[in-house]
């Protein structure tokens, strides 16, 4: 029992020291990326080119969406299987083109929305990140 208590006390002391070190790094303007909160990390992400997303989606189908959004690309990868079956059965080759066009449109708007969210986070945290020593102008 005392061994478990000692372990809990050591873990607690370690967490407090890590929090203190994190705060000292933030105050000194040399915060590590792991010291940033979720929104600040999002502000440091690179934007995605909607044109690149459209080209890759047009060529590779839903796998081209991996550039923009991994979960949605995986969802569309499986969803497109059924959409292609249905569309080709009823619309022949035009069904394939129709489903691919819908994927391209969705990929474009995903990239635009992602870029807008990143810009909003940059504008919100620009001053704080600059104070911490992060340059977000060249991303």
What's the pLDDT at 90? 85
* Band of pLDDT at residue 43, cut at 50, 70 and 90: confident
What's the pLDDT at 26? 67
- Torsion of Cα atoms, 115 then 47 then 59 then 63, to 10°: -80
- Residues in Cβ contact with 83 at an 8 Å cutoff, skipping those fewer than 6 apart: 99
* Band of pLDDT at residue 77, cut at 50, 70 and 90: very high
Whether residue 115 contacts residue 48, with contact meaning beta carbons closer than 8 Å, is answered with yes
Residue 139 reports pLDDT greater than 60: no
pTM (two decimals): 0.69
Extents of the domains making up the chain: 36-131
């Amino acid at each position: 029992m005392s061994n478990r208590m000692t372990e809990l006390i050591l873990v607690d002391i370690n967490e407090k020291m890590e929090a203190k070190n994190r705060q000292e790094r933030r105050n000194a303007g040399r915060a590590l990326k792991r010291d940033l909160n979720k929104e600040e990390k999002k502000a440091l992400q690179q934007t995605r080119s909607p044109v690149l997303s459209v080209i890759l989606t047009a060529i590779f189908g839903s796998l081209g969406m991996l550039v923009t959004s991994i979960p949605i690309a995986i969802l569309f990868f499986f969803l497109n299987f059924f959409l292609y079956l249905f569309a080709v059965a009823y619309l022949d080759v035009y069904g394939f083109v129709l489903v691919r066009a819908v994927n391209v449109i969705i990929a474009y708007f995903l990239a635009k929305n992602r870029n807008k969210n990143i810009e909003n986070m940059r504008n919100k945290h620009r001053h704080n990140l600059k104070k911490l020593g992060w340059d977000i102008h060249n991303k």
